[in-house]
Amino acid sequence: MRRRRLLGTLLAAALGAGAAPVRAADPCADFVPQAKPQNAGRDIVGQDIDQILDRGFMTFAVYEDFPPYSWEEAGQPRGVDIEIAQLIAEDIGVEPQFRFVAAGETLEADLRNNIWKGDVLGGPVSNVMMRVPYDSAFACRVEQAVFTGRYASEDMVIAYREEAYPDDKPIPAYFRFDTVAVENDSLADFYLSSFAGGQTRDKVLRYPSMDAAMKALSAGETMAAMGPRAQVEWGLGEGTAYHVPPLAGLARGKWELGVAVNFRYRALGYMVDDAIRAASADGRIAKIYAGYGLTWLPVTDY
């Protein structure tokens, strides 16, 4: 699905040898600042923290049909990102309202449509966008958004049918011969399609979502599946398990997740970040993950 290209935007370089030396020291060193965007009336209404407090609610953009992070069930929002947004709003002292959005072709498009400009049809922007992968070099290049509130880390894992691997656990080299399910156009897809000069490409089975890939694993249509830990844990069925394998040639198999706010409203960003820091420290975010049967991987510098 297109939403998986969002992570690909940030992690495409992870399939190579790594960043250039100058960028390793300063990820913004080679970036020429853009022309500052002009304000438009509808960009401002209801966006600053005083207006949010006065009206008593704040809006969150969350991805639609994206378990275990955000989805609707019987008309009610559910998911990890929904509950984290709720605790942010509670900490600020307002009610949360959710806008379920479809993923665009790129992360830049999603930020433009949902945080700082609105879509081409004139749709509203939101105060906060959830589940934004954090990357310092990318943050330099999208000046219209502030990336803050990192609330979890995510990593790549391999799930497998226990009957297929009774003695050892599969690693990428096994997929020269064994089938492995991935979400189409995901990091796992890109990685396995190019692994060892493409030797594993023919055994990669592509599905429209990670949920579908995990259902295929449970049904015995594939021997293994590869994807982000939380989505794999959510989809585990009887007779399946997962592990964190060595991923040769992948420079970044772990990344951080946070939120984005419009660059004009840093005061809101500070309050969101404070709420997330407090919830990370006192165990509330870990409890949210555990409530969905997931492992919370904390951000290391919080």
Distance of CA 35 to the CA centre of its chain: 28
Q: Residue 79 and residue 289: Cα distance in Å, rounded?
A: 9
Domains of the chain, earliest start first: 4-153+256-291 (3.40.190.10), 154-243 (3.40.190.10)
The pLDDT score that the predictor gives to residue 139 is 82
Q: What is the pLDDT of residue 16?
A: 43
pLDDT digits (tens, 9 = 90+) for 88-130: 999 999 999 999 999 888 888 899 999 988 776 667 899 999 9
The whole-angstrom separation of Cα 137 and Cα 15 is: 16
CA end-to-end distance (rounded Å), the chain: 31
Residues of the chain scoring pLDDT < 70: 1-26, 31-46, 120-122, 301-302
The DSSP result for the chain, as a single string, is -TTHHHHHHHHGGGGSS---HHHHH-TTTTPPPPPPPPP-HHHHTTTSHHHHHHHTEEEEEEESSBTTTBEEETTEEESHHHHHHHHHHHHHTSEEEEEEE---SSHHHHHIIIIIS--TT-PPP-SEEEEEEE-HHHHHH-TTEEEEEEEEEEEEEEEEETTT-SSS---GGGGGTS-EEEETTSHHHHHHHHGGGGTTGGGEEEESSHHHHHHHHHTTS-SEEEEEHHHHHHH--TTEEEE----TT-S-SEEEEEEEEETT-HHHHHHHHHHHHHHHHTTHHHHHHHHTT---B--TT-
The enclosing H or E element of 288 equals helix 284-291
pLDDT value of residue 106: 86
- Grouping H, G, I as helix, E, B as strand and the rest as coil, residue 163 is coil
pLDDT number for residue 21: 40
pLDDT recorded at residue 17: 38
Task: Retrieve residue 260's tokens.
Answer: 């984005």
Query: What pLDDT sits at residue 35?
Result: 61
Q: What is the pTM of this model?
A: 0.86
Torsions phi, psi of 42, nearest 5?
Answer: -75, -15
The confidence score (pLDDT) of residue 122 equals: 67
